[in-house]
Amino acid sequence: MNHRPFEDWLLEDEHLSLQQQRELQIHLRSCTTCAAVASSNLALHSKHMAVPDPGFTERFRPRLAEWKREQLRRQAIGTVILVLAGLGLLYTLAGPLMIQAVRSPATWFSQATSYVVGLLTMASIFEQVGGILFRSLTGLIPASAWGAMVAASGLFALVWVFAMRRLSRAPQGV
């Protein structure tokens, strides 16, 4: 028996013309397979919505309240842990310095000043070395290579921006 058009019509659940409907009805009388698909399609079309027991929203309210309480509890625990960890870190890193500052302020001040001066000197050295390197490199690298590097950087930035926009799009569904 040639199921082909009839089975396809049923499985695609297509809208049929009157002529097609007549042909299908004739086929269904002799084909149990297609008749079964037609019956299940018919049952699917006669949908019957399931409804929750009355008071669904009233049952939801306490659940939401419980969830909010749980969220608050978690936030509180998180905050306490964060504060304790911050205090611990501060004590470990800055504790000796603070103790020293309290015991001998003059020594502490001179050490802090020398540390800052050291940092500034380091920055100045880096600036000078960088300047020398830049001047020598600009002489060594041809203009076309600079152009290619700028174009590649631009392309990279474009790809990065595009990727970030795609990744940061708000996901739907949870």
Partner 1 sequence: MKDESALVTQAQHGSEEAFTQLVEAYQMHVYNLCYRMLGEAQSAEDAAQETFLRAFQHLHRYDHGRPFATWLLSIAAHYCIDRLRRRRFSFTSIDEDDDGRTMELPDTAAPAPEAEAMRREERERLQGYLQQLNSVDRAAIVLRYWHDYSEVEIARTLNLTVSAVKSRLHRARRELGTCWQEAGDRNAHARRPHESPAF
Residues that bind partner 1 (CB under 8 A): 10-13, 32-33, 35-41, 43-53, 56-57, 59-61, 63-64, 67, 170-174
Least separation in angstroms between CB 68 and partner 1: 9
Least separation in angstroms between CB 1 and partner 1: 14
Nearer to partner 1, 25 or 39 (CB): 39
Least separation in angstroms between CB 75 and partner 1: 14
Nearer to partner 1, 66 or 127 (CB): 66
Nearer to partner 1, 3 or 20 (CB): 3
The answer to whether 100 touches 108, Cβ cutoff 8 Å, is yes
